Each structure stands twice: as structure tokens, then as C-alpha cells.
Structure 1
Amino acid sequence: MLFFSIIVPVYNVETYLKRCLDNLKNQTYNNFEVLLIDDGSTDKSGLICDEYSSRDKRFKVYHKENEGVSSARNLGISEASGDYITFVDSDDWIDITYLSCVTELLEEANPDLLVNSFNRADDKSIKYIDLSSKNRKYFSGYEALYEMCVGNYFGWEPVARFYKTNKLNNVRFDEKIKYGEDLLFNYIFLKQKNITIIYEPVAKYNYYYRITSAVNSYTLTQKWDDIKVIQFIIDNEKNYIGKFLLRNCLWPRLVNRCKDALFSMKKEDLNHAIFLSKILRPYFWIILLGRNTSLKMRIKTAIISPFFFFGGKQ
């Protein structure tokens, strides 16, 4: 009988936490542990974790100083004892039948990674994210890496998926990266030898989008990390994956962030845009005049041209 480790990083989410934990507690499949990693919360989140732990022995609480979500997830991985690990963000929630509906497939196919669909929720509605067909798909590590980059079947996020625990022995989140750490984590996981992945279009995970979340409050400068991650992968993938990331992930990010900085009133953003423009400069005319460049991207590229002819030469 499969045993699951559910890792929940917790930081100042007292408004949403009980919804998340109630749905975990009420799972129709009972063989699991919940690792609540309280990452130095200053509200009542830590007390809520203690409350659930005192009432249900499946809930285990780890209180630590605030070091970020990657540090919290890494602690959870180190303490996990399940056959599979799944991550649930503390402001999200899963359907009470989630574990039940994936158990049979995991037991029969024994994949290293099971990826599911998910729902995107806000305060008004819940929307199913239809990334692909409605059929089950099997992938090798390279095929899954391609699909993750293209976004046909699944994206960069670590949630709504189940990782085989023994395949995470040498895989951790980079705690120095604040933006783009999920992509790097999944890239390292998928680069292991003889990895098997299944995509199962089960939408039992509800991703709650809130404007006040840490990621949505990052400045342009703080978002520099994901560009570094994308560049790292491009440098290591001298194939279609690298070319796809260059044209469809790196270039648009550089252009969009330069554009945003051009209209920013913050000096640090303008300085950062000048720095980004130096990375973008070798591709500037290719993007502006390229046959495959959309009209929208051409316009944005033209808008940021001052960085290349003035600020970008500093």
C-alpha cells in the first residue's frame, strides 16, 4: 500500500491555511503524512499547524527560521518517508479524492514522476487549465523536458505532481534562487538517467492565484534569477530544447522586462534594464526583423530600442 509524503511550506497564510489542511485531513485515501514546514511565520500560521498536528498524528510540524520556500521544501524532502512526495502550497487546496484517484496508476505503472492537470482559482471562480489532450501520455526524461519547456502537457511548477522519493536523493531546490527555482528543480530531476514520466489529465489540484503573493510582488531586479536559470539550461541543451527556450522564453522575457523598466519610475529598474539589454543586444535585429517574430513582439522590441542606442552602450 503506497505511502505518500505531502510537503506543505507555510509562511503567513493564516487566512487560507485551514482550507488547505482540512482537504488534506479529509482525504479518502488515508495512508499519508503531511509535513508542515513553518518557515518563520509571524502570524497565526504556526499555531494552526500545531493545532492540526495535535489532533491528527499524520500531521508533522517543523518550525524554522524564515529562509524561503525552497529551504522549506528541501527540509520536507529530507524528512519525508513516503514512497512518493507531492507538494501542496499552503494557500492552495486539493480535492479530497486526489490521492485515491492516482494510487492505482502509481501502483501499476510505478513511474518516477506523475504529472496531473490543475485548476486555477481566485476569489470568484475556478478554471480548469487545459494544457493538452485528455489522454494519458508516457514520456522519457528528454521527452518530458521538451514538453515542460513547450508547455503542452505541463509546466515548470512542482505542484500537481508526484515524485518518487528515491529519485530525489540528489535533487533539491536551489535556495539561492528566488525566481525560477521550480524550473531548475524539475530540469535537474528530468536529467537523471532512465526516468519515466506519466501525464494523467486529472484536475484535482486547485492553484489559488492571489496578487499579494511573494512571486507577484517581486521587482524586475528580483526576477533576474529565472533568466539565469533559462540561460543555464540553454547552455546545456545544444538541441531543439535550447533553441526553443532561447526564442520563446529568454528573448520575450528580456524584451518584456526592458519594456516594463522603460516605463518604471525606479532607478534600479532602469539600471537593470540596461544590464539586460546587453544580454539581448546580439539578438536585437534578429528579433526585430525575424520572419517568425510576431507583430506584438516587433512593437515591443522597437519600443525598447533606446536601451540599445543610448543606455545599452554604457
Structure 2
Amino acid sequence: MNKVSVIIPVYNVEKYLRQCLDSVINQTLQEIEIICIDDGSSDGSWLILEEYASRDYRIRILNQKNAGAGAARNRGLELATGEYLSFLDSDDFFEQNMLELAYAKAKEDDADIVVFRADFYWNNSDYFKPAPWTLQKKRIPAICPFAGTDIMGNPFRAFIGWAWDKLFRTAFIREKGYLFQEQRTSNDLLFVFSAVTDAKRITILDETLAHQRRAISSSLSVTREKSWDCFYYALIALREHLQRVGSFEKFKRDYIDYALHFSLWNINSIKGPAYEKLYNKLKGEWFKELGIEQLNAQDFEVKSEYQQYRYIKRTPFFFYKRLVVIVPIIQKIDSICRYFRDYGMLCTLQYIMGKIKKMVSCKLRRQAAGK
């Protein structure tokens, strides 16, 4: 039996796919299978998969009509034979010892889920940016393993709803029947947070072992424009799951706090015609449907988020889009203050320096392009 099944959905990533695959086939843990599902790529991704599969017997490749990463991961889940499951996006990459360390930790603590740290790799500047907020130890029990219901801090803020910075016990996932939502974006939120809140044995590996590639991508912007409502359906599906298993009342306040946070992240990071559509939906229906109107200001963790919610509720879109230019400034100040409070001076300085380096790099590229 393979120790780990690594499931990789692939779509039009010929530029980055080799680095992704190399990071997996060169893992120090050798007893693995690698399941790659090509989601209808129109570039050279399939040819690269065929090349790697011909060289490494552990690689299984399949293709399907374009249906999104959620559908591709679900197909990989059906085929997986490993004791544990790992998910990796095809433009990201792992540290060479990630699977060995995560599997050893899983066995040591008999864990349903192992959560480790990740950072962001800025492809344009070859810079790795720490992301301490992706695993917030202050929110979780000091002793591992622990149950999802033991998390006293908000579990939806303690971890991020990504699948690729976690290792999952295959038997646990199949027993519970978890699947990824087959929608274009936010397709892993339901899977991850259902597993986290249901799990009886979660453990932490406090090392940075995965790298998410961050690069300017017009295709990603187009995808988000078309799928601007996916986050809402993910949140609704998560609430329905919590209600079905009887844990919603325990997590209700945390869920609503996170629903506001994730809703605002989406509206603050989208552009084009979808921006006004999303604004009007949140203002007219979705804030109420998500339960946000049930809570008071003191119930929300980040006060600037509640303030923005109030602005949206009170302000027509025509005026809000002019007012909103100051929102990023308020959020940045609030973000720096929370970084300092949660992670101390060193991480705060790294955070600020990362922002400065990114701005300088962008300016130099613009200057070079103008010559």
C-alpha cells in the first residue's frame, strides 16, 4: 500500500508544471503514488504529463473535459490507494521532505489531518513571502492531537480553507464522504472546513513545507469575474454541513464572522462588471442570508470589517465605489496592527519589507518596459 497519494489537477500550466512534478517525484518519501488529472488543457501540459509518466511508474495520468479543479480532485479521490492524501495545485510546489515529515507526524499522532505551514512564492521577483496567518497556533490547543471541536479560537481563521497545506487520512475522508465542490473557485472550502470541524485527531507540523505561486494572471482574473458568486455557495454549503452534523450552534458565531471576512475579501479583490453585481447581492440579500445581520459589532473579530459591512449596507453603489478608495488604507493599517499583535516585531518587519520589495520590483519592471 502506498503511504501517500498525491492528487494534482492540471490545467494549462506548461510553464510551471515541471517544477511542480519535480518537487513531488524527488520527495524523500518514495512510497507514494502521483495522480495527475488533466482538466482539458489546451497547451502542452498533457505532453509534459506523458513525458513524466513514461519515466516514473508512480505517476498515473488521466484527462477529462474541462470541469474545474474540484471535479479533477474528486476523480483523483476515487482512484487513490494511499493511506494518506495530499493535494497540490499544478503551479505550486513542495519542499523535498514535505511528505516524509508530514507522514511521520501523521503516524506519530495517529492523525486524521496534519496541518503544516505554507508561504507565497512571487514568481516575478523570485521572492518567498512568509504567511504566518495561514496557521495560527494561538487559536488552537497546545497539545496535539486535538479535535476540531476543541479549537477555542475561530477554526475558520486558525487555518485556511486550502487543501494543499494539509495531509488527510484517506479512510477518514472516505468514511465521511467528503467531496470537493465542482465549481470554478472556492471549491476546496467545503471539503477542508468540513474535515477540520469534524476531525477527532488534528496535529500540527510547524514547518513551511509548501509554496503557493503568486503571479499576475489575466486568466485568473477572468475566472473570478465569471465565478464571482462561487464563494457564497461554498459558505452556504458549509453551513448546511455544520447543521447536518449538529455542530452549527457551537461554531455559529465563528462561522458568521468568517462569512463576513470571506465576503469582504471577495468584493475587495474583484474588478469589472462583477464588482457591482456582487455589491448589490451582498447588500440586498447575501449578508442577511449568511446571518451577518444577526450579530452586533462586538461579535466580529476585526472591527474594520464590520465597519465596511455597515458602509455597504448604508451606501448606494454609486457613492460606495468612490468611498472605497480609502478602505484598502484602513485595512492595511489594521493588518499591520494585527500582525504586530499576533506575530511580533520580526514577522511584522518581514511583512512590511515584503510589500516594499514587491513595489520596487513592480516599479523596476515598468521602467524596463518603458525603455
Contact 1:234-1:243 within 8 A present in 2 as well: no
Q: CA deviation at 1:167?
A: 1.6
Q: CA deviation at 1:63?
A: 1.4
Contact 1:287-1:298 within 8 A present in 2 as well: no
Corresponding letter in the other structure for 2:15: T
Does residue 1:305 correspond to 2:314, yes or no?
yes
Corresponding letter in the other structure for 2:215: R
Number of paired residues? Answer: 303
User: Structure 2 vs 1, CA of residues 179 and 144 (structure 1 numbering), >3 Å: closer, same or farther?
Assistant: farther
User: Structure 2 vs 1, CA of residues 40 and 304 (structure 1 numbering), >3 Å: closer, same or farther?
Assistant: same
Q: Within 2, Cα distance between the matches of 1:290 and 1:187?
A: 21
Q: CA deviation at 1:285?
A: 11
Matches within 5 A, 1:1-314: 3-123=3-123, 124=125, 125-130=127-132, 131-133=135-137, 137-143=144-150, 147-151=154-158, 154-169=159-174, 170-175=177-182, 177-190=183-196, 192=198, 195-212=200-217, 216-219=221-224, 222-234=227-239, 236=243, 237-246=247-256, 248-254=257-263, 266=273, 269-279=275-285, 280=287, 294=303, 297-298=306-307, 301-302=310-311, 305-307=314-316
Q: CA deviation at 1:101?
A: 2.0
User: Structure 2 vs 1, CA of residues 105 and 212 (structure 1 numbering), >3 Å: closer, same or farther?
Assistant: same
User: Structure 2 vs 1, CA of residues 232 and 26 (structure 1 numbering), >3 Å: closer, same or farther?
Assistant: closer
Contact 2:146-2:202 within 8 A present in 1 as well: yes
Q: CA deviation at 1:259?
A: 7.5
The residue matched to 2:49 in structure 1 has which SS? Answer: helix
User: Structure 2 vs 1, CA of residues 259 and 226 (structure 1 numbering), >3 Å: closer, same or farther?
Assistant: closer
Query: Structure 1 vs Structure 2: percent identity of aligned residues?
Result: 24
The residue matched to 1:33 in structure 2 has which SS? Answer: strand
Contact 1:289-1:298 within 8 A present in 2 as well: no
Structure 2 alignment gaps of length 5 or more: 320-371
- 1:229-277 CA-to-partner distances (Å, cap 9, x unmatched) read 324444635435221232x33334556766788xx663x6434432321
User: Structure 2 vs 1, CA of residues 297 and 17 (structure 1 numbering), >3 Å: closer, same or farther?
Assistant: same
Q: CA deviation at 1:204?
A: 1.2
The residue matched to 1:301 in structure 2 has which SS? Answer: helix
Contact 2:106-2:112 within 8 A present in 1 as well: no
Structure 1 alignment gaps of length 5 or more: none
Q: CA RMSD in A?
A: 3.5
User: Structure 2 vs 1, CA of residues 308 and 286 (structure 1 numbering), >3 Å: closer, same or farther?
Assistant: farther
Corresponding letter in the other structure for 1:270: E
Q: Which structure has the highest helix share of the two?
A: 2
117-126 or 280-289: bigger deviation: 280-289
43-52 or 204-213: bigger deviation: 204-213
Contact 1:3-1:82 within 8 A present in 2 as well: yes
Give the alignment's TM-score, normalised by structure 1: 0.82
Contact 2:121-2:128 within 8 A present in 1 as well: yes
45-54 or 24-33: bigger deviation: 24-33
Q: Within 1, Cα distance between the matches of 2:19 and 2:160?
A: 25
- 1:191-248 CA-to-partner distances (Å, cap 9, x unmatched) read 54x63111111211111122317655444672322223324444635435221232x3
User: Structure 2 vs 1, CA of residues 190 and 34 (structure 1 numbering), >3 Å: closer, same or farther?
Assistant: same
Q: Within 2, Cα distance between the matches of 1:256 and 1:103?
A: 33
216-225 or 30-39: bigger deviation: 216-225
- 1:82-131 CA-to-partner distances (Å, cap 9, x unmatched) read 11110011101111111222333222322111111112111221123223
Corresponding letter in the other structure for 1:150: R
Q: Within 2, Cα distance between the matches of 1:260 and 1:2?
A: 40
Contact 1:145-1:190 within 8 A present in 2 as well: no
Contact 1:8-1:34 within 8 A present in 2 as well: yes
User: Structure 2 vs 1, CA of residues 76 and 210 (structure 1 numbering), >3 Å: closer, same or farther?
Assistant: same
Contact 2:283-2:312 within 8 A present in 1 as well: no
Contact 2:2-2:33 within 8 A present in 1 as well: no
Q: Within 2, Cα distance between the matches of 1:204 and 1:304?
A: 41
Corresponding letter in the other structure for 2:52: Y
Give the alignment's TM-score, normalised by structure 2: 0.70
